[in-house]
Amino acid sequence: MSMPAILAENINTYYGRSHILRGVSFTVAPGETVSLLGRNGMGKTTLLRTLAGLLRPASGSVQLNGADVTSARASARSRAGLAIVPEGRGIFPNLTVAENLTFASRANARGDRPWPLERIYALFPRLAERRHHWGNELSGGEQQMLSIGRALMTSPSIVLLDEATEGLAPKLRDEIWATVKQITDSGIAAIIVDKNLNDLLALADRNTIMAKGEIVFDGTSDALRADEALIHRHLGV
């Protein structure tokens, strides 16, 4: 069996004295798409930020493609193949679209060549049209495309998407999901947080629900659809 793209064991993360993640263990196989579900404030973003190295857990371990990265900085995890598309997108407003993209361009730890800009522009033709515009001149949808494109420029083996389609119109949302599907079909693993349950269930190989900092469900989309009480209890649908 191949090594997991990401393996987190018994993670405990605090914000000050608030115990946010309570012994979370979590795994994603290479090329697998996992949705991370749960109401607001249940620890989804905290888990993604902990996996990305932007938050330091008080205890627990994280492995990336078999390598222990528990004490590694976010920059080292990025170079080891993990990319994050954060909530709020994290676009550099004072860099152009092209500069935002080339900023992160590099080969990955496995020696794969960096993604050429043209490949990103093929995936998001709108970014090609806006390549000379500043980051703060883009619409919300374009910023999300740029944030995803920039993550891909790091040649990742796993992408963490936080609030992937937040604030986007339905048509743009569909565009983003279609692109995410292309990305995951190319063999890149993904953990996706979003509020659109039906879209996620259609896209994900596996779904994980978090409640109060713990994982309370882990299973296929069919298994989740079949448990209406669980959906009602934890997702409020």
Partner 1 sequence: MDLVLIQLLNGIQYGLLIFLAASGLTLVFGIMGVINLSHGSFYMLGAYCALTLTQFTGDIFLSLLLGVPLAFVFGVIIEWLFIRHLYDRDHLQQVLLTFALILIFNEVQKILWGSYPHSVPVPGYLQGGVKISELLSYPYYRIAVAGFCVALALAMMFVIQKTRIGRIIRAGESNREMVEALGIDSRLLFRFVFAAGVALAATAGIVASPLESVYPGIGEPVLIISFVVVVIGGIGSIKGAFLGALLIGVADALGKVYFPTFSSSVVYALMAAVLIARPGGLFGRAA
Binding site for partner 1 (CB under 8 A): 52-54, 73-76, 78-79, 83-84, 86, 90, 92-95, 99, 102-104, 106, 150, 154
Closest separation between CB of residue 159 and partner 1, Å?
12
- Long-range contact set of residues 53-58: C-beta below 8 Å, sequence gap at least 24: 53/77, 53/82, 54/84, 55/13, 56/13, 57/11, 57/12, 57/13, 57/21, 58/12, 58/13, 58/14
Q: Which is nearer to partner 1, 94 or 220 (CB)?
A: 94
Q: Which is nearer to partner 1, 51 or 210 (CB)?
A: 51
Closest separation between CB of residue 179 and partner 1, Å?
19
Q: Which is nearer to partner 1, 66 or 93 (CB)?
A: 93
Closest separation between CB of residue 142 and partner 1, Å?
17
**Count of H helices and E strands in the chain?**
10, 10
Burial of 128 from C-beta contacts in 10 A (0-12 / 13-18 / 19+): middle
Closest separation between CB of residue 190 and partner 1, Å?
16
Minimal CA–CA distance to 27: which of 41, 47, 13?
47
CA distance 31 to 166: 24
- Rounded to a whole number of angstroms, the distance between the first and last alpha carbons of the chain is 37
Q: Which is nearer to partner 1, 36 or 83 (CB)?
A: 83
Q: Which is nearer to partner 1, 63 or 96 (CB)?
A: 96
Beta-strand ranges (E) seen in 167-213 are: 189-193, 206-211
Q: Which is nearer to partner 1, 130 or 150 (CB)?
A: 150
The first and second tokens of residue 99, run together, are 């500069």
Contact indicator for 82, 7 with CB cutoff of 8 Å: no
Contact indicator for 142, 127 with CB cutoff of 8 Å: yes
Closest separation between CB of residue 147 and partner 1, Å?
9
**Around Cβ 185, how many Cβ atoms within 10 Å?**
10
Q: Which is nearer to partner 1, 87 or 218 (CB)?
A: 87
Closest separation between CB of residue 203 and partner 1, Å?
23
The first and second tokens of residue 191, run together, are 């953990």
Closest separation between CB of residue 100 and partner 1, Å?
8
